[in-house]
Structure 1
Amino acid sequence: MMKKLILALGIVLVLVNIAILFLDDDGRVGRTNYIHKWEQVTAQDVKETLTVPGVLTSAKEEPVYFDSESGAVSEMLVEPGDTVEEGADLFSYRVADYAKTYRELTASITSLDEKVMAVEQAISEAGESDFAAAAFSEDVNDPETIDESENEKDTDAASEALQQATEEQTTQLQEQYRISLEKELAEKNAELTAAEEQLAGLEETGEFVTVTSPSAGTVKSIDESGNKPVITLQSSDLVITGELTEAERKQVQNAMTIEAKLDDGPALEGEITELAEQPAATDGKESMYKFEASYLAEDEQANKLLAGYHLDTDILLAYASQAPTVKPAQVEDDQVWKMANGQLFTTKVGIGAQNDIQAAITSGLEAGAFLPANQGDYYQNEPFVTPWKAQQMNWSTWNDSFTSYEFLLGLLDH
């Protein structure tokens, strides 16, 4: 009889509690959140990218001009489809006026000498200056670039992350500038060598000048009718080209970093060099905007690449270095559930770079904080309990952390 009475009272007690919770629209009855799994916020590098299809194409079509007033073509030394190296002989012509041609070549050599010296000086100065750092210094110190936070540590962390990202951008900008200068120097040296060889040939023969290829590539076409250009070369240097939708075009800017992946082989790293302002022909469909990207590749790797190869191109939209990182699903309405001091509560966070598996936090949360592994609407701003995991207890110090009374209450909660 006593057992039946206890069972009946137990059932009544459970039903009463359920009714109280059901009717408690004002939240006056305290609730305890049960957190089955949780995880700690860690500092990670986060990349936000846009993946679009791309194809390798010739970097440029380079015309080789010939002015019929300078003379007449005497011999064509290449044919369409021929592959030529930089400096290879293309055609020769008989000069109409030796003295005039000699003066023009001499003046060209003098001008190119000065340009080569200027570029060499620029390369030397670029290695010693902090021109890029100065360009970013105002942004680093501008308070508007750092989200305000009630927590000073959050603000300091955001400032430090911004400073680190700025330093990386500065280094990248300096490297890009150095590469562009070295490329320009190589082009000017090639032009200088060609002009010197033409002058040497003119002095040797007294009437003929041989025109050489300004770059390595393939002869696309030849026009011997006397019109300009007489030869059109397709450069052997390749670039990545592709198209962006309207929505994608709004996200992409010139000089953004790219990483392109072939089916096999290492990724190609580079940057956006050309970005169309006007769409290609649409025919009533969605507008598409063309882009072009350069890349760096080792000689051995570059020799294996051919025009027409297709690849997936990742355009880096945003990057966060060693930022507090959570899963995107853990953020809802710019808030996350945070576990601290036995309480579960929401905290507002700022979101930076993010992808399918990572979201960088710019403010409101630090590395080391604890969050429920699965965020949900069923949580409330109330205390929380977690599963009893004896193997994770530090028994040597638990006596310093809890009183016996608190320990007993914890057991009862579980």
Structure 2
Amino acid sequence: MMACNKTLLGVPLNASAHVPCPNHTALPTPLRILLAIIMLFMIAVGFLGNAIVCLIVYQKPAMRSAINLLLATLASSDIMLSLFCMPFTAVTVITVEWNFGAHFCRVSAMLYWFFVLEGVSILLIISVDRFLIIVQRQDKLNPHRAKIMIALSWAFSFCISFPSVIGWTFVEFPSRAPQCVLGYTEFPADRAYAVMLIVAIFFIPFSIMLYSYLCILNTVRRNTVRIHNHVESVCLNQVSKLGLVGLQKPHQMNVDMSFKTRAFTTILILFVGFSFCWLPHTVFSLMSVFSRRFYYSPSFYATSTCVLWLSYLKSVFNPVIYCWRIKKFREACLEFLPKTFKIFPKVPGRTKRRIRPSTIYVCSEHQSAV
């Protein structure tokens, strides 16, 4: 185990950082083994689940819409995260020691930020697209434009994450963390890059997505009230024409708003999952860079292990949401399963007629008549 006062991948610490730190408090062995087993399960689910998402979009031309191309890109970034980052973290959780060399330490840190930033960029694009469609009534994103946005997001993510591999910031061996993490530093340039990285990954996307979803929620609420009032006014006009004898509660006056809210609700759940998984990691990274007391505390290793494990949970979270919320993805997943796994027969569920967003339900004269 490396001492805390050693150099950071060959780059010496500033004088104020040459402070011996107490031995870190590693997690108990049974808990470390349990976390490693859970991480292996997460790797399998994250890889297989996201691979099915990509395969569905690739094999089914009808699924190659702009939003599905974005979801497939999000799944691709999660696949890369599951294959190139999570296994090394799982091994380090068990051994409590980094065994993959100094150079790969920087490479793994760069890949971690790269794939995470790409996934966040795709979520941001989807959120803005939903905002334009529902609030601004502008459907500007087609498959061609989606491909351009995807290419730009990959390039942007690479440009932001690449400096960490060439030594533009302090990335320490995992002597106090199961993965190469941002270390404490007092150099202004290193702190500036760390802040830029964290702001690009969390604060800017979170602020834009939060604003977009609040506007969408407000628009959906106002539209629901407007349609409900329109339905009631139409029904009352029909009742006045028929007289009191024709007064009867219309059959099925419910306004089906699922055509507007279901896709938005799915994206909102992805946003909540992103916030839940990444807010602790953001706070942890900022405190690691700016707080010497926190960085050299004995509990740093246990805290970093839990925070990193939670950040990886997002790659498993997304495909589960797709299969739960998106019917076409769920049906396509069942098609990829071998027949031996299809134990339960397919039960026909209640289906709803698809309607256009411009459709308004009103009471007909037949419904209002006696």
TM-score (norm 1): 0.29
Which structure features the higher share of helix residues? 2
Higher RCO structure (Cα 8 Å, ≥6 apart): 1
TM-score (norm 2): 0.31
Which structure features the higher share of strand residues? 1
Structure whose alpha-carbon radius of gyration is higher: 1
